[in-house]
Amino acid sequence: MSRKQRHFKGAEVSCCVKYILFGFNIIFWLLGAAFLSIGLWAWAEKFSVFLGLIFFLELTTGILAFVFKDWIKDQLNFFINNNVKAYRDDIDLQNLIDFAQEYWSCCGAHGPDDWNLNIYFNCTPNNPSRERCGVPFSCCIKDPAEDVINTQCGYDVRRLTDLERQPFIHTKGCVGQFEKWLQDNLILVAGIFVGIALLQIFGICLAQNLVSDIKAVKANW
């Protein structure tokens, strides 16, 4: 029997494992284009090590997020307030803030008065803007009967008292509303992360199995 014949009867690389692993590789690459160049190197050299590194980094991030949750809250507050200041400077940023305020039924980081940070909405006497002492339309409580969005619904609303504002705009801040959303959807969010972690562990096992198959094939040559 020739060496070539002995090779085909010996250990072989599992095609099923190979193609499933390839599928996992595509999924993980879609998580970010930044991993593309690293992924190409990892596929050729240490793919299982790369998956293990991603899993370890995600696990570390989750632990740090829990331990430093107050710091993360402060950073979120800082991020929102900075974006409030630049609301009219970038249309994409403006759309993002409007989406967040509409989705979470909120206004500003901690409340409508955060919009005093914006040069167009602040209540200083020398502010010539028509939006002075107002809030963006995304802070407004929508009227179901209205087919067209009233973009002027927030004008002058911060001239009213806190109680007088309540029928017209959302008075809760987005930081608090985001925390409430996380608490209400904790099981869903945790389930998604656990599912991703299990998929990655499965991918690591497949990668290790593929490496073992390749070593076994090389050993029979």
pLDDT digits (tens, 9 = 90+) for 188-212: 766 776 777 677 677 667 766 776 7
At residue 173, the pLDDT reads 93
pLDDT digits (tens, 9 = 90+) for 131-149: 999 999 999 999 888 888 8
At residue 217, the pLDDT reads 72
At residue 40, the pLDDT reads 47
Taken in order 108, 111, 113, 114, the sign of the CA dihedral is negative
Long-range contacts of 177-184 (CB under 8 A, 24+ apart): 177/104, 177/105, 177/106, 178/76, 178/104, 178/106, 179/73, 181/104
Confidence of residue 93 (pLDDT cuts 50, 70, 90): confident
Does 66 have pLDDT greater than 70? no
Beta-bridged to residue 169, according to DSSP, are: 140
Question: What is the mean predicted confidence (pLDDT) over 49-71?
Answer: 59
pLDDT digits (tens, 9 = 90+) for 97-111: 999 999 999 999 999
Q: How far apart are CA 22 and CA 139, in angstroms?
A: 46
